[in-house]
Structure 1
C-alpha cells in the first residue's frame, strides 16, 4: 500500500512539473566541441527523465541476473521447509489422535525436509510416536536426549515426569519435578508437582519456600496461596506438637488465623493452648469452628480439653458445645457419647435416637448398641442394633480423590494435590435406605426398657422357626453365631408359667404373631413325621446356621 501511494505521488509530481514547464516556454542551449545545441525546456526535461528511467531499468536487470541463483535457492528452500512443516503438523495431529502409523510416516518425511537439530518438534513427535507404538524405553531415551539441549530440557523433563508417574516411580517423578521447578519456577505443573512431593515426604519448610516462590511469581492468587500456606503450617504443627510444643503453638495459631474454617488448624491450635493451660482461648477457637461446621474431632477435643475432669464435667462441656449448634446430628452424638461415659444412659439413648430421627448413620446405631448393652444387657437387641448399623448410611470421613482416610492429611496420596481432603460421606446413597427393623422400632417405642436386673431368666426351649418347605433340624438349632435372617422382637420375654397360662394349644398365640408379621403364610408348617401342626416356645435368640440364597430368602425367624 505504501509503495502504491509513493508511485502515485511520483507521478503526480512529474505531472505538476511538466505542466509548470509547459506554462513557461524557454530554450536550453548546450555548447559541446564547438557545436551549439539548442532545445526547449520540455524536451530537455523529458530526455532527463527518460535517461534516469533507462538507468534504473538497466540496474534492475543486471541485479536480477546476478542474484537469480540465490533467489532460486531460497525459493526452493522455502518450499521444502513449508512441506516439512506441513508434514510435522500432520504428524502432531495424528499423534494427538492416537494414529501412531501416520505419525511415524510423517516423522520420516519431516526428517527429510527439515533439519532435525534445528527443529525440536521433530524430537517431541518422535517420542510421542514411540509411546503410541508401545516402546516406552525408546520414548524415555528420546526425552533424556532432550535434556542435553537447553531449548528442549524442560520439555524432556515434562515427558520423563509423566512417564515416571505412569509407571508409579514416585522418587523419579519427584526428582524430575524438582529439577523442572528449579529450571522454571513459573511453570505451574512443575511447581505443583514439586510442592505435592515435598508435602508427601514431610518437607514442610521446603514446601513453604516453594509456595512463597509461586506466590511471588504470581502463579497463585492471594486467597489460594493463603489457604495452602495455612494447610502446610497445620501439617507442620501437627508433626511438631509432641516434640516442640512451643513452636507448634505459634505455627498452629498462625494457620488458624489464615484459615479459620480449616478444622484441623483449629484443633491443633486448641490442643497447643490446652497443653499450656490456656483453656479459655483454646475453647473459643473450637467454639468458633463448631459454629461454622460441627465436627466430631472438634467435639472430642473440646470435651477432653482439661486433664483430670470428671465424666460429669465432660458431659457439661458437651452440653454447652451442643447448645451452640442445636438440633445438629454431631451435637446429639457428642451429648450421647459423653452421657454414656458418665453413666447417664437415659440421656444418651434420647440423644442417639434423636440422630436416627434426623439423619440416620452408622455411628448412631453402634452407639445405641453400646447403650443397650450397658443398660439392659439384652444381646438380642444389641445384635439388632449392630445389624442395622451394617445397612445404615456411612458417616462422613476425610476423603480426597476417592481415598478415604481416618485422619486428615495436607495432600492427596493419590495425586499429591494440596488441600484435597474434604469432610464428606465417602459414598452417597443412590436411593432410600431399606430398613427391615421398623417392627423392632415400634416394639421399642411401646415397651418400656427394663434394667438388667429385672429381666427374668428364660426356660431353655427350642426356637420357633417357620419355613416355606421344611422345619429346622436339631443340628441347625444348635448354631448360635448367625444373624443373616430377618429378626423381629415380639416384646418382653415370656417365662414358662406365662406360656402355659396364655396359650390354649401348642400352636401359640396367632394374633400376637400376626400383629408383628402381617405377611405371614396362612398355611401352617408340618413336620415330616406327623401331620399335626406344631410350634416351639420362644428362646432368647439361639440363632441358626447360614443358608444359601433361595433357602435363606424363604425363611423367617421369631424370637
Structure 2
C-alpha cells in the first residue's frame, strides 16, 4: 500500500513538473565539438526522463541476469523446504493419531528435505515414531542425544522423565525432573515433581523457595499457592514441634491463616499454642475448624488440651464440642469416649448408640464393646459387638493414591504428589460385598479346591467353613476355638453351647443366618 502511494506521488510530481514546463516555453542550446544543438525545453525534459528510465531498465536486466543462478537455486530450495515442512506436518499428525507406518515414512521424507540441525521437530518426530513402534531403547537414545542441544534439552529431559515413569523408576524420574526444574522453574511438571521430592526429603525451606518461584512465574493460581504453602508450613511445624515450639507455632498459625479448612494445620497450630500455654487462642482455632469439619483429631486435641485436667473436665470440653455441632457422629463419639474415661457409663452408652444410629461403623461398635466391658463384663455381648465391628463399614482415614495412613502426611508415599491425602472412607471390606450378595448361591471351599466335601456338622456345632473370597476378610479374627470345635463335632460327640453365648435376640429371629458363623 505504501509503495502504491509513493508511486502515485512520483507520477503526480512528474505531471506537475511537465505542466510547469509547458506553461513556460523556452529553448535549450547545446554546443559540442563545433556543432550546435537547439531543442525546446519540453523535448529536452522528455529526453532526459527517457534516458534515466532506460538506464534503470538496463540496470535491472543486468542485475537479474547476474543473480539468475541464485534466484533459480533459491526457488528450488524454498520449494524443497515447503515440501519438507508439509511432510513434517503430516508426520506429526500421523504420530498423534497413532499411525506409526505413515509417521515413519514422513519422518524419512522430511529428513531428506530438511536438515535436522535447521528443524529440531524432525528429532521429536523420530523419537515419537520409535515410541509408537515400541522401540523404547531407540527412543531413549534419541532423547539422550537431545540433551547436548540447548534448544532441545528440555524436550529430552521430558522424554526421559516419561520413560522412567513408564518403567516405574521413580528415582530416575525425579532426577530428570530436578534437572528440568533447575533449568526452567516455570515447567509445572518438573517443578511439581521437584517439590514433592524436596517434601519427602524434609527440605521444607527448599520446597517453600521452589513454591515462591512457581508463584513468581504465574504457573499456578493464588488459591493453589496458598494451599500448597499451608501444607508445607504444616509439615514444617509438625517436624519442629518438639525441637523448636516457637517456630512451629509461627509456621502452623500462618498455615491455618492461609488454609482455614486444613485440619492438620489447625490441630498443629492448636497443639503448638497449648505448649505455649495459650489455651484460649488454641481452643478458638479448634472450635472454628470443628464448625467447618468435625474431625476426630480435632476432638482429641480439644478434649486433651491440658494434660493435667481431670476426666470430668475433659468431659465438659467434649460437651462443649457437641454443643457446637449437634447431631453429628463425631460429636457423639467424642462425648462417648470422654464419658467412658470419666466413668459416666450411661451417658457413654447413650452417645455411642446415637452414633451407631447416625452412622454404623467400626469404631462405634468397638467403643460400645468397651463400654459393655466396663459396665457389665458380659463376654457374650462383647463378642457380638466385636462381630458387628468386623462387618461394619470402615472409619474414615487419611487416604492417598490407595494408601491408607493413620496420620496425615504432606505428600503421597506412592507418587510423591503434594497435598494428596484426603480424609475419606477407604475401600470397603470384601465381606460387605458378600453380605450384600448373601442371597446368591456360592460354592463351598471344598468344591473350589477339588477336595471332597466335609461331613455335615451337628446342629449344635457352628459351621465355620469360609468361602475362598471370605478368607481374606476373616484372617485377622481368632477362629481357632471354632475350628477345634468343628473337629470335635465331626467326630460325632457334639458340643454344648458356650456358657457366655448370648443366644439369639428376639428382634433378630426373622433375619437370615450370618455368613460368618463365628459366635
TM-score, normalization by structure 2 = 0.80
Q: Could you say which residue in structure 2 is the equivalent of 1:113?
A: 113
Report how far residue 58 of structure 1 moved: 0.5
Q: Distance in 1 between matches of 2:358 and 2:94?
A: 57
| Cα deviation, residue 255, structure 1 | 2.4
| SS, match of residue 57 in structure 1 | helix
Preserved CA contact (<8 Å) 1:477 1:542: no
Q: Is 1:333–1:355's contact at 8 Å kept on the other side of the alignment?
A: yes
Aligned to 1:294: 294
- Segment drifting more, 349-358 vs 328-337: 349-358
CA deviation string 1:447-482 (max 9, x = no partner): xxxxxxxxxxxxxxxxxxxxxxxxxx9944454475
| 1:192 matched to 2:192 | yes
Matches within 5 A, 1:154-173: 154-173=154-173
User: Would you say the 8 A contact 2:460–2:497 is kept in 1?
Assistant: no
Matches within 5 A, 1:402-441: 402-426=402-426
Distance 1:103 1:537 in 2: 76
Q: Which moved more, 1:34-43 or 1:49-58?
A: 34-43
Q: 1:447 is matched with which residue?
A: none
Matched position secondary structure for 1:409: coil
For 1:46 and 1:117, the matched residues in 2 are separated by: 56
Taking structure 1 as reference, are residues 434 and 385 closer, same or farther at Cα in structure 2, changes over 3 Å only?
farther
Mapped partners of 1:187, 1:288: distance in 2? 37
Deviates more, 1:383-392 or 1:354-363: 383-392
Structure-1 residue corresponding to 2:314: 314
Q: Shift of the alpha carbon at 1:423?
A: 2.1
Structure 1 residues 372 and 554 mapped into 2: Cα distance closer, same or farther (>3 Å)? closer
Q: 1:482/1:3 Cα in 2 relative to 1: closer, same or farther (>3 Å)?
A: same
Distance 1:338 1:247 in 2: 32
CA shift in 2, pair 1:556/1:31, >3 Å: closer
Q: Counterpart of 1:223?
A: 223
Give, in angstroms, the shift of residue 250 of structure 1.
Answer: 3.2
Q: Compare CA radii of gyration and give the structure with the larger one.
A: 1
Q: Please, what TM-score do these two structures have when normalized by structure 1?
A: 0.75
Q: Which structure 2 residue ranges, 5 or more long, are not aligned?
A: 437-454, 468-495, 505-511
Is the Cα contact below 8 Å between 2:362 and 2:393 reproduced in 1? yes
The farther-off stretch of 399-408 and 256-265 is 399-408
Please, what is the CA RMSD of the aligned residues? 3.4
- Cα deviation for residue 31 of structure 1 reads 2.0
Is 1:103–2:103 an aligned residue pair? yes
Higher helix share: 2
| Separation in structure 1 between the aligned mates of residue 434 and residue 369 of structure 2, nearest angstrom | 20
Question: Whose RCO is larger (CA < 8 A, sep 6+)?
Answer: 1
User: Quick one: distance in 2 between partners of 1:482 and 1:384?
Assistant: 16
Q: How many pairs does the alignment contain?
A: 464
Q: CA deviation at 1:56?
A: 0.8
Contact (CA 8 Å) 2:378, 2:500: kept in 1 or not? Answer: no
Asked whether the 8 Å contact 1:400–1:412 carries over to 2, the reply is yes
Q: Distance in 1 between matches of 2:225 and 2:131?
A: 36
Cα distance in 2 for residues equivalent to 1:190 and 1:435: 46
Classify 1:483/1:274 alpha carbon distance in 2 versus 1 (closer, same or farther; 3 Å): farther
User: CA offset at residue 175 of structure 1?
Assistant: 1.3
1:482·1:543 contact (CA, 8 Å) conserved in 2? no
| Alpha-carbon distance change, 81 to 263 in structure 1, aligned in 2, over 3 angstroms | same
Change over 3 Å in CA distance of 1:435–1:138 after alignment to 2: closer
2:398 aligned with 1:398, yes or no? yes
CA–CA separation in structure 2 for the residues paired with 1:88 and 1:300: 64
| Inter-partner Cα distance in structure 1 for 2:55 and 2:242 | 95
CA-CA distance at 1:133 after TM superposition: 1.4
**Offset of residue 3 of structure 1:** 2.1
Deviates more, 1:277-286 or 1:93-102: 277-286
Q: Is the 8 A contact 1:479 1:542 kept in 2?
A: no
- Does residue 13 of structure 2 align to residue 7 of structure 1? no
| CA positional deviation for 1:240 | 2.8
Distance 1:307 1:190, change over 3 A: same
Q: Measure the CA separation in 2 of the matches of 1:553 and 1:321.
A: 40
C-alpha displacement of 1:333? 1.1
Equivalent in the alignment of 1:328: 328
What aligned pairs does 1:355-374 form with structure 2 within 5 A after superposition? 355-374=355-374
Answer whether contact 1:477 1:543 (CA < 8 A) is retained.
no
Equivalent pair of 2:464/2:516 in contact (CA under 8 Å): no
In structure 1, runs of 5+ residues without a counterpart are 437-472, 486-535, 545-551
In structure 2, relative to structure 1, the CA distance for the partners of 1:538 and 1:400 (3 Å cut) is closer
Deviates more, 1:396-405 or 1:116-125: 396-405
Q: Which residue is equivalent to 2:445?
A: none
In the TM superposition, residue 284 of structure 1 has moved relative to its aligned partner by 2.6
Instruction: Write the distance in 1 (CA, Å) between the matches of 2:44 and 2:69.
Output: 40
Kept in 2, the 8 Å contact 1:388–1:435? The answer is: no
Distance 1:212 1:389, change over 3 A: same
1:263-306: per-residue Cα shift (whole Å, max 9, x none)?
A: 11121222233334443333232222212221101111122222
Measure, in 2, the Cα distance between the counterparts of 1:537 and 1:428: 33
Report Cα offsets for 1:467-526 as digits up to 9, x if no partner: xxxxxx9944454475989xxxxxxxxxxxxxxxxxxxxxxxxxxxxxxxxxxxxxxxxx
